[in-house]
Amino acid sequence: GNGLIGLIRTAIDDSQKILALYNFTRESRSIPLEQLPENLQTWKELILAVDMRFTQDSLILPPYAACWLSKTP
């Protein structure tokens, strides 16, 4: 594997979605935006301790990072 895990949780009434992304490696990992939910840049990061960043076509997760992104309609 590549050391990345991603999970998405949707509230039963569809009022919220949370995407949890984890990097279990000692290197930063790039995730292509085409593999992630649309408009992810507008979602709110809930942990706030992660130095994740977006490039034009990917999300960069630092080593050993966990990030939770929330979308509410």
pLDDT band at 72 (very low <50, low <70, confident <90, very high): confident
Tell me how far apart the alpha carbons of residues 54 and 24 are, in angstroms, rounded to a whole number.
19
Average pLDDT of span 18-25: 97
User: Which residues lie across from 32 on neighbouring strands?
Assistant: 58
Q: Which of 19-28, 44-53, 54-63 has the lowest mean pLDDT?
A: 44-53
Residue 50 has pLDDT above 90, yes or no: no
What is the C-alpha separation between 23 and 13, in angstroms, rounded? Answer: 29
pLDDT computed for residue 51 by the predictor: 85
Does 47 have pLDDT greater than 80?
yes
